[in-house]
Amino acid sequence: GAGVSQSPSNKVTEKGKDVELRCDPISGHTALYWYRQSLGQGLEFLIYFQGNSAPDKSGLPSDRFSAERTGGSVSTLTIQRTQQEDSAVYLCASSSSGLGGDTQYFGPGTRLTVL
Amino acid sequence: QQQVKQSPQSLIVQKGGISIINCAYENTAFDYFPWYQQFPGKGPALLIAIRPDVSEKKEGRFTISVNKSAKQFSLHIMDSQPGDSATYFCAATSPYSNDYKLSFGAGTTVTVRA
């Protein structure tokens, strides 16, 4: 594809429900990142994938958050038992190799609202 | 804690004016400083970046500079236009290690008044 795509673009859910957010990176990019952007805040790093492995999960805020990547391509971020404080825009980015200095290309994000 | 501090949080500038955004960092290993531009409803997009051993870079109306001794870097938008109205994020990382993680500032919302 031409760029990073994410789905859904908007998700409204009730507190306590599970949600899955999807990211399709740029074809051939080995590195994939998830960030969270809360209203008026900067980008908070969540997790980094190199291929299908996640060497850095340090940014996941709690064990309710998990992510996987399959086939070195699509990634899914899952939030279990959603809470109102999970409401944010979840951004996915990919880069060609994951080395520092590689440009990270961002998707449009998924806006999650937990009622 | 935030490794990159960005200021101001927001600014308003008249068309044709200069917008200046400043960032400060603590990690002396940082040597790659990209700036991202984000329009409402869109993901951030790389605007301009400065690579190691370069202290200033200009692309059109956008100039970025780094002062490593002060651990500060900045973005200047010359002749600001209404189309420049967006949120700008500074970021930093070390390109020499496997430090893939970008540390972002909190963002500056720029409004250019016609």
pLDDT digits (tens, 9 = 90+) for B34-80: 999 999 989 999 999 998 788 999 999 999 999 999 999 999 999 99
Query: Cα separation of B40 and A83, whole Å?
Result: 25
**Cβ–Cβ of A106/B44 closer than 8 Å?**
yes
Of B43, B100, B104, nearest to A42 by CB-CB distance is B104
Contacting residues of A for B45, CB less than 8 Å apart: 105-106
DSSP B74-91: EEEESS--GGG-EEEEEE
* Domain spans in chain A, listed from the N-terminal domain onward: 5-10+19-98
pLDDT at residue B97 is higher than 80: no
How confident is the model at residue B71, as a pLDDT?
94
Tokens 């999807």 label which residue?
A22
pLDDT at A1 over 70: no
What are the extents of the domains in chain B? 4-113
Residue found by looking up tokens 């963002």 in the block: B107
Least confident of A92-96, B41-45, B93-97: B93-97
Model confidence at B100, pLDDT cuts 50, 70, 90, reads confident
Subunit contact B44:A101, Cβ cutoff 8 A:
no
Q: Determine the Cα–Cα distance for residues B85 and B76; give it in Å rounded to an integer.
A: 14
Look at residues A71, A68, A104, A78 and name the one whose alpha carbon lies nearest to residue A18.
A78
Residues from chain B contacting residue A33 (CB–CB below 8 Å) = 100
At residue B99 the predicted structure's pLDDT band, cuts being 50, 70 and 90, is low
The closest of A29, A45, A42, A105 to A77, measured between CA atoms, is A45
Residue B67: partners with Cβ closer than 8 Å, 6 or more residues away: B55, B73
* Domain A5-10+19-98 CATH assignment equals 3.30.360.10: no
Distance from CA of B43 to the nearest CA of A (A): 4
Class of B4-113 per CATH?
A: mainly beta
